[in-house]
Structure formats: C-alpha cells, structure tokens
Amino acid sequence: MKHIALIALGEKTSYFCRDQLHRLLGNRINISNYYAEGNLPQRIKADFAIFTSRLAYQKTHTHLSDGLPYMISRRSINYHEVDKLFELPAGTNVLLVNDCIQSANDTISLLQTLGIDHLNYYAYAPGMDDPKMAKVAVTPGESRFVPPSIEKIVDIKTRLLDITSLVEMLSRIGLLTYYADFLSAQYVRDIIQLIDKNQRYKNRAAQLEQELCRLEASRSQKTSDVNLQAVYHFDDIIGSAPALQSAIHIAKRFADSDSTVLIQAQSGTGKELMAQSIHNASERADGPFVAVNFAAITETLLDSELFGYVEGAFTGASRHGAIGLFEQANHGTIFLDEIGDASLSFQVKLLRVLQEREIRRVGSTVPIHIDVRIIAATNQDLKVLIRQGRFREDLYYRLNVLPLTLPPLAERKEDIPVLVAAFLKSFFLDMGASEMRDWIKEILPVFHQYSWPGNIRELQNVVEYLANVCDGRPRPDDLPSSFTATIASMRNRQGGETAGENLKKAVLQELAIAARIGKHLGRRSLARNLDVPESQIRHICQDLVKEGEITLKSGRGGIQLRRNWSEILDSRGDIARNQPLL
Ligand SMILES: Nc1ncnc2c1ncn2[C@@H]1O[C@H](COP(=O)(O)OP(=O)(O)OP(=O)(O)O)[C@@H](O)[C@H]1O
C-alpha cells in the first residue's frame, strides 16, 4: 500500500485535506498528516509527500527523509460552500480575507475563473491596513483575520487540494489510472452542483460537461490498466467475536453460491472486505472484481461508466467507444457499494440488468449478455428508504437474495486489542506482542467505553494517528478530540465513585466518634454533621448495611456499628483527619 505524507501549516488544514484525500481515494492509500505548528516527527518517511502550501513547504521541508519525492499542491475553493456567495447581491464590495496576500489574490482569481464574478473583491491579509471598502468579508476558513470594521462574514471554509495536483500526485506514485474515474466523477459532480445554483452559469455547465466527456474519454482509453483484483480473503478478516464469526460462516456459504448478496452494515465495518473475500472464495476467483461506489459517481457519468458507450455516443466520447464496468466484470463479481445512494431512475436500469442479465452500451440498441455475480452493499436501512419512496421495493427484493449483516465495532469490543495489534504492526514492523500490550494499556479502557461510530475504519485511523503523534505509550489525553466526551464521562464517573467511597468512610467515622462517647446518630444528624442531603445518607447507609458495616433498627439508636469504634478510628484515612471529635 502506498504511503503519502500530507503536510500543512496548521492543524485544521492538515486534517481537512487528509479527510479530502480519504474521501476521494478511500483506504487503499495510507495517509499520514502532519502540520508545522505541531506534530512533525524528526524524519517524515513515506512514498511521497504533498505540501498544502508553499509556506508549509518552507517551514517543514527539512523534516523530509532523504530523497523523498514531494510536490506543493495547488489549492481550490470548497465547492460545497461557495454557493453562499450567490446570496450576496451583484456589485457588493467584499473583502477577500486570507492568511497571506498571495493566497487572498489566488482565491479571488479562482472565484473569478469559476464565474463567480458578480462581486467586487478586495484582497486582505493580516498586517494590512483595513481598506474600509466593504461591510462583508469572504474568507476560506480564516475568519480570525477579518478586521473589526466588517459586519458580515461569509466563511467558504478551508480550501481543498486542487484536482490537478491530485492527478499529478497519483501519476507520480503510479496510481492515476486506478483512480481516474473516481476523481473525475467526484470533481465534475461538485462543479456541476455549484453551477446549478445559479441560472447565470448554466452555459458554463454545458462547457464543463464537455470537459467531463474529455476526462471520461481519456479515462476509458486506459481502462485496461484499471486494477480489477480483489485483494482480501476471509483469512484477512480479524476478530473472534461470535457475531463476526457467524457473519464469516454465512459469507463462506454464500461464496459457494452464485446468487446476489446484499450486505447491510454500518460504514467502516468491512463490507468491501467481506465482498472481496466472498469473491476470492468463489468459483469466480480468477475473474475480475469490480467495485462501483454509487456515492461517488455522478448521475451524468453513471450510464457510460456502468454500461459503456459506442463511438459518437456523446461529444468528446472516445472514437472507439468504451466498455463499461458491467462488461469489465464479466465472468467475475461486481460490487455495488452504497447502493442506497443510486437514483430512482438508475434503479430502474439496474433492475432491468438484474432481470435480463443484459446491458446496452450508451448510444447502442444491441444487447450484450453479461455473466456477472452481484454483491451490493449499503449502510442505509433500505426498508426505510423504501418507505420514504427513495428505493424501489422490487429492486430491494432482487438484491436481497442472500442477506448478510456485519456487527458494528461497538458490539464486538472484545476484538479491539487484536485489531489494534494488527494495525500497529503496519507501522512498527518489529513490534513484539508484549510491547503491543504495553502500548495499548492506558487507552484500552477508553476504547472499550467509546461508541465507535466510524467502526473499524475509525479504529484504524486512530491507531495511525497515535502512531504518528506519540513517541511512547499513548495516554487518553493523546486521543483525538472525538474521544473528549468519553474521557470526561469516565473521569466524572471515577470521581463520583471516589466521592461515594469517601462519604462512606466519613459516615463510619462519624458513627465511631459518637459511639466513643456512648451516643447514637440518626440519618438527620449525620446529614447535618457532614453537610450532605439526607437522601444521600440513606443510600450510603443501605450500602453500608450490604457491606456488613452497620445494622439499621427502627427508633432511637437506629444505626448500629458492627465493628468496635476504636477499630474504625484506628484505621481512619485522610477523610477523618480534619474532622473534629465530638
Ligand atoms: N475485521 C476486519 N479486520 C481487519 N480489517 C478490517 C476489518 N473490518 C474492516 N477492516 C478495515 O477497515 C477499513 C474499512 O473496511 P471496508 O472499506 O471494507 O468497510 P465498509 O463497510 O465497506 O466501509 P464503507 O461503508 O465506508 O464503504 C478497511 O481498511 C478494512 O481493511
């Protein structure tokens, strides 16, 4: 697996861009993210390094290990956020605020290139005089630099790594053809969504679609290079929890069959891992395994991606046409991931393919028979989508022939140590078993308490994060901020338990001190002496009865010590020391 070091100036950008890479490239590339202000190791080791800005490069490049190839990424605006700008009236003066003047000017050029040119932009960076030209500031995540005269801030959030830089990076690490379709789809979808926001830009959308076609055409010329292999086997699935073992047992039975499988499980639980394992244990193991992610492919591309197209099917199409993913999966397995995200119109087409086992290339009426095993997966509840009218019931029944569910990590926490050990092994090749036990010691109780919404993928990321930021054994406070609430509630509970124990001791000592002078105390006197509510004293007394320390009788002298007062006072701890004797 290729290992990329992503290096930013600040922590926020570092995590933001890392998430962008994860979203675009999935988990087949190992990404370690660093930032100049914080977690830089002495020597950054990886297959390739990408800096998020020239400034990040200038401040950190001395940490690169010798000969490590690198590039400085260009940055692009965040298409999901930029539609906020359409809400500003044409001709509005806006201060474009960024961390340095060059970045501010770059952002202005980018916005103008995208046709968002109905605003009058003035570049601004910290250290400059406030031009007092505008009441509105637009900033990509740098609102802390906005001058005080500004009345309204439009934050278009941290800038993304630019697509052309990502293409360059993938090309330099030899993975461009593998990711080309994914990248083009994601990129073009974002831009088209942006442009759809405003009627004014519809003409440009048409142009972009032609860009889209060119990308598609160049991608399809290279489809023979696409990696069509499933790399995982059942033996790679780590964990002995009964719920997981029973899922593996069922999946192995499914591998013997050729029927359609529907895997329903939370995100990051190993659906693709399971799909690949089924394929590799099936009779189709020597055939291709093709994964299609419906959350990543734009509607415009879907038909040509899945069914292919013939010469002249659309502007920019390759002269020779191209085969689609269904045809590429012939004699193998197609993995339809995130099937819940497929549009209703595409669901109709899919249903037809499932029924007829035939496809037609875009621009052609000739049916092509395909011999493909289908494994679909989703982390959504398809029954709910059906009720909401977002998923076709007939397609659901076509897919749900062999249903498989995978347990979330929260339901198999006993597997956490072995998963952590496996993930650690990929960072510290020579780490022994006892070293691993030692490494996890202090954070394991937190891991057991945490809810793991991102499941195994999240655990994998957390281990990678700790392996990068901690020099020795990680402590709970080293964990990322998603763990803060869990750690706080564990500490509160511990605090509560200690407070309870202390109160018990204090009650016993009060009773012993009174007994020494022949007095008995009731609950009310104890509550008054110790300044706690009587209800709490009642609970404590019930606990002390269970522990055999006191007996409760009705009437005066109701609370009786079972041990001699001197024994209790002799063994008194810190609590009693400051309390006056009666
Ligand atoms: N039981 C397991 N043993 C080892 N690694 C696992 C296991 N389950 C998941 N993983 C790892 O966790 C990551 C997520 O797995 P995978 O992509 O298969 O999950 P998914 O359910 O398909 O996720 P998504 O719904 O987000 O597509 C991968 O890196 C995978 O190798």
User: Higher confidence at residue 252 or residue 521?
Assistant: 252
Q: What is the pLDDT of residue 182?
A: 64
- Cβ pair 108, 96 in contact under 8 A: yes
Pairing of strands 550-552, 402-405: unpaired
Question: What are the phi and psi torsion angles at 335 (to 5°)?
Answer: -105, 110
Q: How far apart are CA 463 and CA 461, in angstroms?
A: 5
**How far apart are the CA of 272 and the centre of ligand 1, in A?**
6
152, two tokens: 């309204």
Tokens of residue 18, six digits: 């890392």
Of the candidate CATH numbers 1.10.1740.10, 1.10.10.60, 3.30.1380.10, 1.10.10.10, the domain formed by 487-577 belongs to: 1.10.10.10
The alpha carbon of 234 and the centre of ligand 1 are apart by a number of angstroms equal to 13
Edge-to-edge strand list for the sheet holding 93-97: 120-124, 93-97, 136-139, 152-155
Atom 10 of ligand 1: nearest residue by CA position:
270
Please say whether the beta carbons of 375 and 336 come within 8 A: yes
- Tell which residue, 522, 490, 487, 486, has the closest CA to residue 507: 522
Q: Taking the alpha carbons of 384, 388, 393, 399 in that order, is the dihedral positive or negative?
A: negative
Label residue 257 by pLDDT band (50, 70, 90): very high
Segment 276-290, tens digit of pLDDT? 999 999 999 999 999
What backbone torsions phi and psi does residue 390 show, to the nearest 5 degrees?
-105, -5
Ligand 1 atom showing the smallest separation from residue 27 Cα: 29
More confident residue, 54 or 476: 476
Distance CA 454, CA 23 (A): 13
Class of 1-74+163-174 in CATH: alpha beta
User: For residue 533, what are the contacts with CB-CB under 8 A and spacing of at least 6?
Assistant: 527
Most confident of 158-162, 411-415, 424-428: 411-415
Q: Taking 90 as the threshold, does the pLDDT of residue 75 lie above it? A: no
- Per-residue model confidence (pLDDT) at position 226: 42
Pairing verdict, β 152-155 and 559-561: unpaired
Name the closest-CA residue to atom 7, ligand 1: 270
Domain 82-156 top-level CATH class = alpha beta
Residue 219 pLDDT greater than 80, yes or no: no
> Kindly report the CA angle at 177 between 175 and 183, in degrees rounded to 5?
90
Q: Whose CA is nearest to atom 8 of ligand 1?
A: 270
- What CATH number belongs to 410-473? 1.10.8
CA torsion 497-499-500-504 (nearest 10°) is 140
Pocket test for ligand 1, best of 248, 266, 273 (most atoms within 8 A of CB): 273
Residues with CB under 6 A from ligand 1: 27, 237-239, 265, 267-273, 337, 379, 456-457, 460
Q: How far is the CA of 186 from the centre of ligand 1 (A)?
A: 21
What share of residues in the chain are helix, strand, coil (percent, to 5)? 50, 15, 35
Measured in degrees and rounded to the nearest 5, phi and psi for residue 204 equal -65, -35
Rounded mean pLDDT of the chain? Answer: 83
Place of tokens 């988990």: 27
Measured in Å, residue 268 CA sits from the centre of ligand 1 at 5
Where along the chain do its domains lie? 1-74+163-174, 82-156, 223-407, 410-473, 487-577
CA angle 164, 125, 197 (to 5 degrees): 50
Highest mean pLDDT of the ranges 98-102, 256-260, 481-485, 546-550: 256-260
CATH architecture, domain 223-407: 3-Layer(aba) Sandwich (3.40)
Say whether 410-473 and 223-407 share the same fold.
no
Q: Above 70 in pLDDT, residue 190?
A: no
566-582 pLDDT, tens digit each: 888 876 544 433 332 22
